[in-house]
A and B are shown apart, each in its own frame.
Chain A
Amino acid sequence: MKLPFLYAVAILACLLALIPPLWALFVSLSVQGSETVRFGLENYREVLAQPQFWACLANSFAAAALCTLICVILGSSAAYGMTRFGGNFDRLALAILAMRMIPSVVLVIPFYLWFRDLGLLDTVPSLAIIYLTFSLPFAIWMIRGFFAAIPIEIDEAARLDGASAWAILWRVILPIAAAPILTTAVLIFCFCWNEFLFALVLTDQKALTFLPMLMRYVPPQGPLYGQIFAGSTIYFAVPIIAIALIRRQLEGSFSTGSVK
């Protein structure tokens, strides 16, 4: 293929990928004047001034962070058990992977009835628990792959030094796999951060998260796009900033790794 053609295709693809977010940025920055439309930050100011915006952002963050934490702890321990002691867990691993594919719409009905009877509707921890249904299988599956790549001799050396199985996991294996686990944690956080259906059905006031809150910016006469897009631009920035922050951590954990 000719070079100009390759560049044309690549640049066209980039443009298409960026058109929707750029359109949203454009809408969020334009302000309806009396006669004309001009640029301004009014939409952002309006959104940032609403206490509900901050409350929902905090709820989204708390649910995603809590779920991620549980996933890393349970997932590492399960992956450790599956990879370090012989034993064939391939079938279990496949079954766990299949769980991740279960559609939300099946799980949301029993969870709704369950949480309603227990009075747990509209709470952040209950949302974090239902997020485990798709993120824990992912965590186990990913971390299992990382642990499998660590040579078993390291465990044996530690065991000869008298370390217990727990100590080997916490002091030896986890530090070695810290970087990929952190990457997995970021991915899980993003999945939870972008989840919509569970949050829509299971939260209402106290634990309302950001995405179902956006649905309330749709009055009968049509959505308030300026504010929706101002809010979602900020919302979208959070995972981007998280990834940027963790990048340094990632490089750091690579350099302190014990397998070289």
Chain B
Amino acid sequence: MFIRPRSTAFLFVAPSVACLAGIVGYPLVQAAVTSLYRWNLISGVKRWTGLQNYADILQDPETARVAFVTVLYTVLSVAIELVLGFALALAFREGLSKRLRGFAMFRVIVCVPIVIAPLIWAFYFRSMYSPQFGAFNSLMGWFGIAPVPWVNSPALALYSLVVADAWQWTPFMFAVILAGMQTLPGDVVEAARVDGASRWQVLRFIELPLLQPILLVAVLLRLIDAIKNIDLIIVITKGGPGTSTEILNFYAYRTSFQDFQVGRGAALAMIVLGVILGLVMLLLGTINRLGKAEKQA
């Protein structure tokens, strides 16, 4: 039997597309529809309310606070990861290019946190932050510093979560940026150095512009993941003390599966999706541009 190549192609692609339509497309529509109901899973009351859930969320004074905490948490974490990851990548590139002993191994060790389950990482930090027996307060006790309520004070808890997040994901940023740096054309840098450009000038005017798309991809990937983060918060603070660490994603989860308001929860989840979708559009645009630049080169 002779099959035209194009239809054969669709034959191979179809199962996956059908599968994804069923398990991603259909639930997405379902989530959108659910967000239009007032639906309590405990009482079983389900009533069509149209966009009422969204209107309620917009008017709720809680929302502004959740939005503020979410932005503070994600931006602060990713900014710290970017700065530290970049600095670390610079040092490692220098070490690796000079073929210094041990740097290949150091690079692997630095990346260990990436492979640890975020939930387990969260337990590590919950225990290290614990008021009496935790690592941080014990260490400070040796130097006579009074114990700090890392995650038990509303003023400090969010920053402690940022530290835990940055501690796990700076290595990711480092790995991506280092890989990007190693693909930079060496001859351009050489030429600039020969022409008398200082190390700082090479970094600022040649390498940084070349690295910019890679940095953007890394930042967007981390932003997307930081917004989706829920493990740290479920384990360490559960949104508290009070509601000081309640980020949007956790708020959506809590509304759906602890308050059992699935309609409102779905509306919140759709808002998370909207934010992520915006970032994904930026990300895909950047990847597209990278691909085009590669084809031109």
Chain A residues near B14 (CB, 8 Å)?
81
Measured CB to CB, the closest approach of chain A to B5, in angstroms, equals 4
Once A23-B124, A223-B127 are accepted as A-B contacts, the answer to whether A82 and B269 lie under 8 Å apart by CB is: no
- With A14-B110, A86-B5, A196-B231 in contact, do A27 and B249 touch (Cβ < 8 Å)? no
Given A80-B12, A235-B120, A236-B117, A17–B110 Cβ distance below 8 Å?
A: yes
Contact with A along B4-26 (1 / 0, CB 8 A): 01101111111111011001101
CB distance from A85 to the nearest CB of B (A): 4
Tell me the smallest distance from the CB of B7 to a CB of chain A, in Å: 9
If over half of B's interface residues share one DSSP class (helix, strand or loop), that class is named, otherwise mixed; here it is helix
- Residue in A82, A109, A196 whose beta carbon sits within 8 Å of that of B119 in the complex: A196
Q: Report the minimal beta-carbon distance from B67 to chain A, rounded to whole angstroms.
A: 16
A residues less than 8 Å from B118 (CB atoms): 194, 196
Q: For the complex, would chain A's binding face be called helix, strand, loop or mixed by DSSP majority? A: helix
How many chain A residues touch B (Cβ–Cβ < 8 Å)?
79
User: Are B3 and A165 in contact, CB atoms less than 8 angstroms apart?
Assistant: yes
Minimum CB distance partner of A169 in chain B:
B12
Q: Report the nearest B residue to A106, measured CB to CB.
A: B269
Contact (Cβ within 8 A) B123 A106 = no
**Contact mask for chain B residues 111-148; partner A; CB cutoff 8 A; 1 contact, 0 none:** 11101111111011111101000010000000000000
**Other-chain contact of B23, A24, A130, A215 (Cβ < 8 Å):** A130
Given contacts A106-B28, A236-B116, contact A11 B228 (CB under 8 A): no
Taking a contact as CB atoms closer than 8 A, the residue among B92, B128, B257 that contacts A20 in the complex is B128
Give per-residue flags for B85-117: 1 if the beta carbon is below 8 A from chain A beta carbons, else 0. Answer: 000100110110000101100100111110111
Bound complex: CA of A145 vs CA of B275, how far in Å?
Answer: 28
Among the listed stretches A48-56, A97-105, A177-185, which one makes contact with chain B, having 4 or more residues with CB under 8 Å of it? A97-105
Structural contact, A214 and B119, CB atoms closer than 8 A: yes
Interface residues of B in 259-284 (CB under 8 A from A): 262, 265-266, 269-270, 272-273, 276-277, 279-280, 283-284
- In-complex Cβ contact of A13 among B10, B88, B135 (8 A): B88
**With contacts A10-B91, A105-B272, A113-B34 known, is A78 near B13, CB below 8 A?**
yes
Residue ID in chain B nearest A196 by CB atoms: B119
> 1/0 contact trace for A1-43 toward B, CB 8 Å?
1010011011101101111110110010000000000000000
Contact A103 B9, CB 8 Å, known A13-B88, A17-B112, A98-B284: no
Q: Which residues of A contact B237 (CB under 8 A)?
A: none
Complex Cα distance A104/B224, Å? 12
Q: Indicate if B230 sits at the interface (CB-CB under 8 A).
A: yes
Contact A85 B30, beta carbon cutoff 8 Å? no
**Chain A positions within 8 Å of B106 at CB level:** 10-11, 13-14
Interface centre among B24, B95, B174, B280 (most CB of A within 10 A): B24
Contacts of B117 in A (CB 8 A): 193-194, 196, 211, 232, 235-236
Residues of A within 8 A of B10 (CB): 81
Distance (Å) between the CB of A30 and the closest chain B CB? 10
Apart from the given pairs A7-B95, A132-B23, 14 other A-B contacts in the complex at a CB distance below 8 Å: A10-B92, A20-B125, A77-B12, A78-B16, A85-B9, A86-B9, A101-B276, A106-B27, A106-B266, A106-B269, A107-B31, A109-B256, A110-B30, A130-B23
Report 6 cross-chain contacts, Cβ distance below 8 Å, ordered by A residue: A104-B228, A108-B256, A165-B3, A165-B11, A211-B120, A223-B127
Chain A contact residues, CB within 8 Å of chain B:
1, 3, 6-7, 9-11, 13-14, 16-21, 23-24, 27, 74-75, 77-78, 80-82, 84-87, 89, 92, 94, 96-99, 101-114, 129-130, 132-133, 136-137, 140, 165, 169, 190, 193-194, 196-197, 200-201, 211, 214-215, 222-223, 225, 228-229, 232, 235-236, 239-240
Query: Which of B's residues lie within 8 Å of A, judged by CB?
Result: 3, 5-6, 8-17, 19-20, 23-24, 26-28, 30-31, 34, 88, 91-92, 94-95, 100, 102-103, 106, 109-113, 115-121, 123-128, 130, 135, 167, 171, 174, 224, 227-228, 230-231, 234-235, 249, 252-253, 256-257, 262, 265-266, 269-270, 272-273, 276-277, 279-280, 283-284, 287-288
